[in-house]
Amino acid sequence: MNVNSVGRSLGILLLVTGTAHFIFPKPLDSIVPHFLPGEARTWTYRSGIAELVIGAALLLPLSMKIGGTSIRLLAAYSALALFLAVYPANIKMAIDWSSRSLPNQLLAYARLPLQFGLFYWCWTVIKALKR
C-alpha cells in the first residue's frame, strides 16, 4: 500500500459524513444520547465539525507535522477517538429502533458491529503511518 494514499479514503468518508451532519441534521439529532448536556443539534453540529476537520487533516501531505508528528497520524488517532465517542449514539439508535419495521431494526443493529470495522480501519491507518 502506498503510504501517501494511507488514510485518504477514510478522510473522504469523514468529509462526506461530516457534510451530512449539516445537510440532514434532524435524523442525527434523534440519536444523540440524552445524557449529553445541551441541545442535540449542537452535538450533531459538533460531531460534524469534528468529522470535517479530521477528514481534511487525513488528506494533508505526510510532510505536514506538529511537534515532529505527522498531522495525518494525529488525525487517524482523532478519527479512532471520534468513532469511539459516537458509539453510544449507535447504541441509542439500536434501542430506539427496536420497535420499528424489521429492515429498520436490521439497519440500526448492523451499525453496531460495523462501527468496529471503522475502529479497525483507523487502527490500520495508524499502524501504516507509524511505519
pLDDT digits (tens, 9 = 90+) for 48-101: 999 999 999 999 998 999 999 999 999 999 999 999 999 999 999 999 999 999
Is there a contact between 92 and 28 (Cβ–Cβ < 8 Å)? no
Whose grid coordinates read 430506539? 96
* Residue 1: pLDDT band with limits 50, 70, 90: low
Q: What is the model's pTM?
A: 0.91
| Sequence-ordered alpha helix ranges (H) in 24-131 | 25-29, 40-57, 71-85, 87-96, 102-130
The pLDDT assigned to 5 comes to: 76
